[in-house]
Structure 1
Amino acid sequence: MAVPRNRTSNARKNSRRAHHAKKPKNVNSCTNCAQSCLSHRICSHCGFYAGRWVFSERKG
């Protein structure tokens, strides 16, 4: 089993983890109702996705 020769310093450890932060979610506007919704998801307000209705019963 591999054993590290020297201890990793805090600066080296933290600089390696510099890119591990969470990125914000991409929020787009719905093409039908112009409400904000996540990309590649059904609009929770009107049920519209990819140019068609996904829900048979729309919220009214």
Structure 2
Amino acid sequence: MAVPKRKMSKARRDSRRANWKLEVPGFVECPQCHEPKMPHHVCTECGYYDGKEVISAAE
């Protein structure tokens, strides 16, 4: 069984673990106001989600 010869520093270990998610998440068009928004999130511009107003008009 492979065993490391030297202790791996926390910085080196954590920088390796941080690289699994590098691509930018995709955006979709809001069906109400046609602004770009994150999928499965409330629109920050109009406050609608799934055709219903969840947050009153964004101020």
Taking structure 1 as the reference length, what is the TM-score of the superposition?
0.61
Residue deviations 1:3-55 (CA, integer Å, cap 9, x gap): 26xxxxxxxxxxxxxx8351111100100000000000000000000111101
Q: What do you get for the CA RMSD once the two structures are aligned?
A: 2.8
Q: Percent identity?
A: 29
Unmatched tracts of structure 1, length 5 or more: 5-18
Larger radius of gyration: 1
Q: How many residues are matched?
A: 46
Taking structure 2 as the reference length, what is the TM-score of the superposition?
0.61
> After the TM superposition, which segments of 4 or more aligned residues of structure 1 sit over 6 Å from their partners?
none
